[in-house]
Amino acid sequence: MTLKRSRVLPVLALLLLALAPAWAATSPPFELQASSAQTATGNGGGIAVAGVNEILVFFDCTASSGTGETLDVLLQSSSDGGTSWFDLASDQAIATDGDGTETAATTNDRDFIDLAADVACSGVRAVARYRNFGSLVRVRWFIAGTTPSYTFSVKAIGKN
């Protein structure tokens, strides 16, 4: 019995060593949009993601105001150095409100944030996973309403 255990432990150790680089192969977090008030449709700057196979995007909203204000947030990608941008579909996305409850009808394949008119965004958070994209990504948002303002940040981390 001791002989079998002594063979299993080295095999298990080798397996763990082989898998460790895959677990640790993530990029440092990067900022797609620093926290700031946005009052119109816009986008963040392009971020190079060559060599990254998967991206997790994190959205955090801290304030909103206006009348009939709406907000859609999505990820775009470019494969031509930032000349042309294309909307991406997320593999999975979830949005929660300030108390941790999933917010109904806030995610689809394109918009990982889709806030209806007059929905306060303070405390709204979302995370979305992307596996298909080009060499550059950026965040894009669409804002509408009367004197709308949303304060939010978008950060990401990539897996190699």
Q: Position of tokens 């009367």?
A: 146
DSSP-assigned beta bridge partners for residue 113: 73
What residues does each domain of the chain span?
26-159
Per-residue CA distances from 160 to 20, 23, 47 (Å): 13, 10, 15
pLDDT at 133: 87
Q: Torsion angle, CA of 8/13/16/20, rounded to 10 degrees?
A: -170
Stated pTM of the model: 0.77
pLDDT at 8: 40
Q: Position of tokens 């929905």?
A: 119
What's the CA gap between 139 and 145, in Å, rounded?
20
- Which CATH code is given to the segment(s) 26-159? 2.60.120
pLDDT at 102: 60
Q: How do the pLDDT tens digits run along the chain, 160 residues long?
A: 444 444 443 443 443 444 444 444 566 788 999 999 999 999 999 999 988 999 999 999 999 999 999 999 999 999 889 999 999 988 888 777 766 566 544 455 788 888 888 888 888 888 999 998 888 999 999 999 999 999 999 999 998 8
